[in-house]
Amino acid sequence: MIEVNDIHKSFGDTHILKGVTTSFSKGKTNLIIGQSGSGKTVFLKCLLGLFTPEQGSISYDGKIYSEMTDEEKRNLRQEIGMVFQGSALFDSMTVEGNVKFPLEMFTKQSQSEMQDRADFVLKRVNLVDAHHKYPSEISGGMQKRVAIARAIVMNPKYLFCDEPNSGLDPKTAIVIDNLIQEITEEYDITTVINTHDMNSVMEIGKKILFLKDGLKAWEGTNKEIFKTENETVTDFVYSSDLFKKVRQMYIEERN
Amino acid sequence: MLFLLGYTYFHHMNYLTSIGRYAIMIKDVFKKPTKWRIMKSLILKEVDELIFGSLGILIFIAFFMGAVVAIQTALNITSELIPKNLVGFATRQSIILEFAPTFCSIIMAGKVGSYITSSIGTMRVTEQIDALEVMGVNALNYLVFPKIIALCLYPFIISIAMYVGIFGGWMAAVFGGFSTSADFIEGVQLDFIPFHVTYAFLKTLVFAFVLATVPSYHGFYMTGGALEVGKASTTSFVWTSVVIIVANYILTQLLLG
């Protein structure tokens, strides 16, 4: 579980996060949504420890990050898996090399143990024939799956995903969403996803945090987002005519 | 006037910030080392890329550089009182003291420097460096340290450039009819001071450190997209050359002055 308590972050005179308090539970897909410039990426980077908040605290399973020793921070990093927006696969390594990388860096496993683990996670993300290909030789959807495989290879307790569906066609996006949800439930991981994709919000948003101008504007589940009367949320989530009609039908059905 | 003063102040503050950040980067490169098993393969890869990959172009340049120095010297000897062996002597001194270490390093700032900046810069733009940091890898140690160690072999290619440069001078002088082989070789052996070679190698080692770290700095701390990677490579070449030229002056003053 990750608990965030009143975090503030500024860059120069620009106050990006103005006091966000929330928590993300284990075994659930927690989604962060909001308009561009609302502070989602900064918030995610604060959770990852890439940015240090000026005020407030972030705790991982009860341990406050800013109070951890360097050794504890290093250990925590090895419990974190991250899927970047552009996948961030290492160009100079094959798919297998990318997946094995964290194992080679942080474990004392033998080559055969690493090979077995890499084969297992690649099979888990439905990639069986791409072991020896380079990232430039595979499609965007496959790159995302390699990134997920690399993120889970160390059995992380926390999984962070920054726009995992960006640049993917709707069908592949659903495959990636389902994969993240399955992995989250299967391994009981605390998953936090930064997204713009409203399909993801409706499908896998077990908890949704809506940020606006650096503040928490709303939080709830994908079921609650249908019912909410919060105008800021409905303006953002149901900005397209299609979603407006879907919501209308849902409300009419309920009545 | 006030605007000009303000502009100058902020411009200098930028330089100071960069120098400070560069110093912190150097400190961080040596912190939290990567596993030796992985580091060893990274070093070998960089030796292949930075050292052996540069051998051909440096040999080519050194040969013609030596040839031109020999021809220029021969053409400028107009008095009968000047001994004929001066062509060989001047070629040797120019090549060992300046042309091989300094001129080749400027060429390397273009070849190796822009490669380092663009490869690290591309990793920054595509979030590969963020990925390393999130995993808990010291990205500076992982990316820059192997380059520093690989470039410790830089004096090795400079020594080859010295031989080839002098050989190029001999070829041009003898086959161009500017000097006899005996005169040229006599000049090459005349008043040889071994410390000059030591001085050249010391200089080369400092330049090697500059060649590994200044372009890495420009790549590592760049922001933006693909266009900025190109700009960073150009800036990196300019600053690497500037630092090499200033370091050359300081080292010459300290070691030979």
How large is the greatest C-alpha to C-alpha distance in chain B, in angstroms?
Answer: 72
Beta bridge partners of A80: A158
Place of tokens 């995302």: A144
| Selected residue of B49, B122, B124, B127 to mutate for chain A interface (largest A Cβ count, 10 A) | B127
**Closest residue, chain B, to A49 (C-alpha):** B134
In a domain, B2, yes or no: no
In a domain, A227, yes or no: no
Best-predicted range by mean pLDDT (A37-41, A77-81, A185-189, B118-122): B118-122
Q: How far is A104 from chain B (nearest CA, A)?
A: 8
The residue from A155, A185, A204 where one domain ends is: A155
Tally of CA atoms within 13 A in the half-sphere of B227 that contains its CB: 1
Q: CA distances (Å), A24 to each of A31, A74, A195, in order?
A: 9, 21, 15
pLDDT digits (tens, 9 = 90+) for B148-161: 999 999 999 999 99
Q: CA distances (Å), A233 to each of A49, A192, A204, A238, A250, in order?
A: 28, 19, 17, 8, 17
In a domain, B5, yes or no: no
A191 and A137 in a single domain? The answer is no
Number of domains in chain A: 2
| Selected residue of B128, B141, B142 to mutate for chain A interface (largest A Cβ count, 10 A) | B128
A18 and A136 in a single domain? The answer is no
Residues of A with Cβ-Cβ distance to B38 under 8 angstroms: 104-105
CB-based burial of residue B207 (10 Å sphere; 0-12 exposed, 13-18 middle, 19+ buried)? Answer: buried
pLDDT digits (tens, 9 = 90+) for A129-154: 888 999 999 998 899 889 999 999 99
Domain that residue A162 falls in: 1-79+158-222
B136/A contact by beta carbon, under 8 A: yes
A93-152 residues touching B, CB cutoff 8 A: 101-102, 104-106
In a domain, B19, yes or no: no
Whole-number pLDDT of residue A245: 79
Q: Which of B123, B126, B134 is facing A80, going by the closest CB pair?
A: B134
In a domain, A185, yes or no: yes
A20/B contact by beta carbon, under 8 A: no
| Selected residue of A82, A153, A162 to mutate for chain B interface (largest B Cβ count, 10 A) | A82
B31-70 residues touching A, CB cutoff 8 A: 34-35, 37-38
In a domain, B6, yes or no: no
CB B232 within 8 A of CB B218: yes
Q: How far is A238 from chain B (nearest CA, A)?
A: 31
A64 and A130 in a single domain? The answer is no
pLDDT digits (tens, 9 = 90+) for A187-222: 899 999 998 888 888 888 889 999 999 999 889 888
A36 and A150 in a single domain? The answer is no
Q: Cα–Cα distance between A46 and A23 in angstroms, integer?
A: 14
A75 and A165 in a single domain? The answer is yes
Residues of B with Cβ-Cβ distance to A102 under 8 angstroms: 135
Closest CA to B224 of B120, B123, B125: B125
A150 and A211 in a single domain? The answer is no
In a domain, A213, yes or no: yes
Distance of CA B115 to the CA centre of its chain: 13
The residue from A113, A128, A155 where one domain ends is: A155
- Inspect the interface and report whether the beta carbons of A84 and B137 lie closer than 8 Å: no
In a domain, B50, yes or no: yes
In a domain, B7, yes or no: no
Domain that residue B236 falls in: 31-256
- Inspect the interface and report whether the beta carbons of B126 and A88 lie closer than 8 Å: yes
A142 and A162 in a single domain? The answer is no
A149 and A162 in a single domain? The answer is no
CB atoms within 10 A of CB B194: 7
A91/B contact by beta carbon, under 8 A: yes
CB A56 within 8 A of CB A65: no
Q: Cα–Cα distance between B68 and A115 in angstroms, integer?
A: 57
**pLDDT over threshold 90, residue A37:** no
Number of domains in chain B: 1
In a domain, B153, yes or no: yes
Q: Cα–Cα distance between B141 and B31 in angstroms, integer?
A: 7
The distance in angstroms from the start CA to the end CA of chain B is 41
Place of tokens 């308009």: A35
SS3 category, A68: coil
H-helix segments, chain B: 2-29, 36-46, 53-76, 86-94, 104-108, 114-125, 128-135, 139-150, 154-175, 181-189, 194-220, 226-256
A150 and A163 in a single domain? The answer is no
Whole-number pLDDT of residue A239: 74
Task: Tell me which residues of chain B have a pLDDT lower than 70.
Answer: 1-12
A94 and A218 in a single domain? The answer is no
A90/B contact by beta carbon, under 8 A: yes
Mean pLDDT of chain A: 88
With cut-offs at 50, 70 and 90, classify the pLDDT of residue A178: confident
In a domain, A19, yes or no: yes
CATH code assigned at A171: 3.40.50.300
A184 and A72 in a single domain? The answer is yes
**Closest residue, chain B, to A108 (C-alpha):** B35
In a domain, A127, yes or no: yes
Q: Cα–Cα distance between A238 and A244 in angstroms, integer?
A: 5
Beta bridge partners of A216: A211
